[in-house]
Structure 1
Amino acid sequence: MAPSDVAIIGVGLHPFGRYPGKSALQMGEDAVVEALGDAGIEWSAIQALYAGSMEVKNPEAIVGLLGLTGVPGRAVFTGCATGATSLAMAANAIRLGDADVAIAIGLDKHPRGAFSDHPSVSGLPDWYGEAGLFLTTHFFGMKANRYLHDHGIPVETLAQVAAKAFGNGARNPNAWRRKPISVEEVLASPVLNYPLTQYMYCGPDEGAAAAILCRAEDAHRYTAQPVYLRASTLRSRREGAFELLTPSLPLTAAPSVTVDASREAYEQAGLGPEDVDVIQLQDTDAGSEVIHMAENGFCADGEQVALVAAGETEIGGRLPINTDGGLLANGEPVGASGLRQIYELVNQLRGRAGDRQVPGARVGYAQLYGAPGTAAVTILST
């Protein structure tokens, strides 16, 4: 079956943020209930379940809250690409004939602080974080510094990206950070790892998201606005793809893993960057969004400066990116993050994104990068 033979018929979200006293599984339950309502079906109609989480080791145990129907439930984890992986596995269950209706769920509840001093992320000893050494901030800081140097991109471009994210978050009733922050405030915030300041990074938090899929030929039984899965790719690094050099690599090196996943997704979908109307890119930091613009084919290296300055990545621009505020405004509960992207894209393609709506959006693109060294791309269309 082609990827377009699967449709998304319902999405749900538990807003990201901090929820003392509420478990990740309970947040997942809320997201699933919303997705079921969106699809107009009961829990008993779900025939396959794929749940992803970093903190919850058996997230498929969510069936204990939703109902013990005997549904096959499987746990999924591929770092920041978890949401895209659970979506792809649910789709594959439909393609293989294992299910007519399947659900992808992401949920997590992270403690405050940087991801890097958490043993489940890095495997590093406690003293690493206690000494103020944070793997994620160091990694993305070095990566951004190299990229900006190589392509003549000023730090102001990163501040503009961050300000856009917080501005979009202010339009999003589900965002964690809903206060606009100016370019000047972003630049004036403390430098954590040069060139990245405090407001150029996302933070770990809590939340959940879900998507329900079915066979494309059955989609109109459930909704008048199905969204079709055109491509879903996941790639890990090839020998020679040293991520600190990405994406401008020596000729002897392999391309970035994101470039691999993106090219494969465009080929699957039979589409190109010029066909995409609304974009979700992994923005663990503002530098990542800038780098991923080029890696996913939306511009050449260095062109980001003019595009961002001209407002082309804003909601009213030619390349609207992270219309819901992305990771910067929403934070990142790792297991749920990728399905938040899908939630936003489905709402954009259905024309129900409110103040964030991209007029006439028909094709949506989502990219995730994690580990480091794993990338996933999903393309949706009406």
Structure 2
Amino acid sequence: MSDVSIIGAGLSPFGRQPGITGRDMALTAIRTALADARLAWEDVQVAFGGSDGAGLADTLVADLGLTGIPFTNVKNGCATGGSALVSAINAIRSGQAEVALAVGFDKHPRGAFDPRPEDWGLDAGFGEAGLMVTTQFFGIKIARYMREHGITDRTLARVAAKAYRNGVLNPNAWRREAIDEDTILAADMVNDPLTRFMFCSPGEGGAAVIVASEAVAREAGRRPVRLLSVAARTRRFGSFEVFAPAIQGTGVPSSVSADAAAAAFATAGVRPDEIDVAQLQDTESGAEVMHLAECGFVEHGAQEELIAAGETEIGGRLPVNTDGGCIANGEPIGASGLRQVHEVVTQLRGEAGDRQVPGGPRLGFTHVYGAPGISACTVLGV
């Protein structure tokens, strides 16, 4: 996939933004990405975008310009942004266009997500029993994982504390105040073993990426980051996912994240140990712990030692969620996957400022996971 490159990336600020709509955030991200790519809206030949609840992406043309381009709405849970990017890449690879846009945005109300069972193929009783509460699922899943692999509560706190520290260094982050491990551990319990400060919150924000053909990427002034691979997968039988009543089948549960990551690495011809900077879905701190192993970076159970040694810090061997991840940025569903890509592009260009990974990173990885068992991963390089 070296014939497709990212030539522009843009974000809006993340976090509560009274008086600013999700559409406004999307427009900010798109215009920033266009400026980064040194292009005008009229240069974009096809677009894909989505939001979970902040409006239809295709209607953004009313503000951007009525140029008549194909603009397809994408809605795929937490993988919405990643799925929009897959579509944009495929448009370039197929020859449909030489310049394509992927955009994601959302503006969620305060409080937990409030999904309807019927929208997920479940009967109303599932919700009446309280099983649509996502915090409960994440608590159950990481508690089981901790028992099986010897992960401690302190490791969960270390992951969250890292996220808040990195958020301090990110001018677009929502949470920009450090919180220490002891405070995180002592906070109100939401779903055992996860305390309040170990979770991300439904949030607000927009992110956009401009992808282009090799010919366009070579033009003077461009700063391309190569898309070495992108892979999206849905769950297989035997998985344990959000809204699942139990683990299906017997034996070790399958992992949609492992499937997507393995496919992305295989297509790119890159090993996990070659990655210089990574973004992993951290809906809560336990998710980052599990995804380190599921995406192939460590063996199950080895996360405890890796994290305690500081290897996932900005200056460590495998910096993870250098922008603060979902814990510091919040989770605007449509935007999160493209926020991850924006951060890795920024790191590979050496433009991350105080949170820049040292040593000139050359390879990056992004991973999103969402209900009811979907994952999208990318491998990027310079």
Look up the SS of the partner of 1:221 in the other structure: coil
Look up the SS of the partner of 1:4 in the other structure: coil
User: Are positions 1:285 and 2:256 aligned together?
Assistant: no
**C-alpha displacement at 1:253, in angstroms?**
5.6
- Residue range with higher mean Cα deviation, 342-351 or 126-135: 126-135
> 1:257 touches 1:374 (CA, 8 Å); kept in 2?
yes
* AA in 1 matched with 2:148: D
Counting aligned pairs with the same residue, the percent is 52
**C-alpha displacement at 1:124, in angstroms?**
8.5
Cα distance between partner residues in 1 of 2:161 and 2:188: 15
Cα distance between partner residues in 1 of 2:116 and 2:326: 19
| Normalised TM-score (structure 1) | 0.94
Q: Please, which of 182, 185, 193 is the counterpart of residue 183 of structure 2? A: 185
Cα distance between partner residues in 2 of 1:313 and 1:121: 37
Look up the SS of the partner of 1:364 in the other structure: strand
- Residue range with higher mean Cα deviation, 25-34 or 111-120: 111-120
Distance 1:331 1:119, change over 3 A: farther
> 2:237 touches 2:249 (CA, 8 Å); kept in 1?
no
- 1:96 maps to what in 2? 94
> 2:164 touches 2:327 (CA, 8 Å); kept in 1?
yes
Q: Please, which of 34, 40, 43 is the counterpart of residue 41 of structure 2? A: 43
* AA in 2 matched with 1:294: A
* AA in 1 matched with 2:347: Q
**C-alpha displacement at 1:56, in angstroms?**
3.4
- Residue range with higher mean Cα deviation, 363-372 or 109-118: 109-118
Cα distance between partner residues in 2 of 1:376 and 1:103: 18
Cα distance between partner residues in 2 of 1:111 and 1:128: 23
- 2:262 maps to what in 1? 263
Cα distance between partner residues in 2 of 1:129 and 1:235: 26
- 2:371 maps to what in 1? 371
> 2:277 touches 2:319 (CA, 8 Å); kept in 1?
yes
> 2:228 touches 2:381 (CA, 8 Å); kept in 1?
yes
**C-alpha displacement at 1:258, in angstroms?**
0.8
Question: Structure 1 stretches of 5 or more lacking a match?
Answer: none
Distance 1:156 1:134, change over 3 A: farther
**C-alpha displacement at 1:33, in angstroms?**
0.6
Cα distance between partner residues in 1 of 2:265 and 2:207: 25
Question: Structure 2 stretches of 5 or more lacking a match?
Answer: none
Cα distance between partner residues in 2 of 1:222 and 1:103: 20
**C-alpha displacement at 1:255, in angstroms?**
2.5
User: Are positions 1:74 and 2:72 aligned together?
Assistant: yes
Look up the SS of the partner of 2:288 in the other structure: helix
> 1:117 touches 1:124 (CA, 8 Å); kept in 2?
no
Cα distance between partner residues in 2 of 1:289 and 1:73: 33
* AA in 2 matched with 1:354: G
Q: Please, which of 209, 212, 216 is the counterpart of residue 211 of structure 1? A: 209
How many residue pairs end up in the alignment?
A: 378
* AA in 1 matched with 2:239: A
- 1:297 maps to what in 2? 296
> 1:249 touches 1:255 (CA, 8 Å); kept in 2?
no
- 1:229 maps to what in 2? 227
* AA in 2 matched with 1:261: A
Look up the SS of the partner of 2:103 in the other structure: strand
> 2:10 touches 2:342 (CA, 8 Å); kept in 1?
yes
Cα distance between partner residues in 2 of 1:207 and 1:124: 29
* AA in 1 matched with 2:150: G
| Normalised TM-score (structure 2) | 0.94
Structure 1 residues 1-382: aligned runs within 5 Å: 3-117=1-115, 135-221=133-219, 223-243=221-241, 255-359=254-358, 360-382=360-382
**C-alpha displacement at 1:18, in angstroms?**
1.1
> 2:118 touches 2:124 (CA, 8 Å); kept in 1?
no
Look up the SS of the partner of 1:334 in the other structure: coil
Distance 1:29 1:127, change over 3 A: farther
Distance 1:138 1:297, change over 3 A: same
> Deviation digits for residues 63-82 of structure 1, max 9, x if unmatched?
11111110110001111111
Distance 1:347 1:29, change over 3 A: same
